[in-house]
Amino acid sequence: MRRDNVCYGFWVIIVFLVTSCSQTAATEESLRARSQSYWEAMIKGNYREAHEYLDPRSRISADKFTDGASKFRWINYRIEEVKVDKTDGNVTLSFTFRPLGLPFDVPELERSEKELWVFYQGAWYYREPTYNVGDAADNQAK
């Protein structure tokens, strides 16, 4: 009986260790997947869907986010690196975009950025930078 308990305890520890090791890889994989889904929505122009990937504690409304994001045509993206430290994540990427609504033609622009993500209530959420086109316009109007 004691021998069975020791064997059972041994297997519980092995399963715990294997799951702990795989959770780090899965967490990075899940962050990469969330970032990809966010950017796919942006490229398709589904800004309300993209807004769902923002940190729910963000004060950016879906309307304000959509208004700011729709001022650009998001063309493509490339994730270069994903790093996770407990509940904080960084996604280094580059993306190509074109400003819209200007009285002159603007070529496609490329930008590299490190996005900050947070693991909150079981999912990764993008922490939108504090700068944003809608905020800039609102601040100028005041």
pLDDT digit string, tens, across residues 11-54:
445 444 443 443 433 389 999 999 999 999 999 999 999 999 99
Domains of the chain (ranges, CATH numbers): 2-141 (3.10.450.50)
DSSP helix/strand/coil, 140: helix
Whether the full predicted model's pTM is greater than 0.75, yes or no, is no
Any residues with CB less than 8 A from the CB of 35 and at least 6 apart, and which? Answer: 79, 82, 91, 93, 115, 117, 124, 126
Give the whole-angstrom CA distance, residue 52 versus residue 23. 24
User: What is the greatest pairwise CA distance in the chain?
Assistant: 82
| Signed CA dihedral, 41, 50, 123, 134: sign only | positive
pLDDT digit string, tens, across residues 100-111:
999 999 999 999
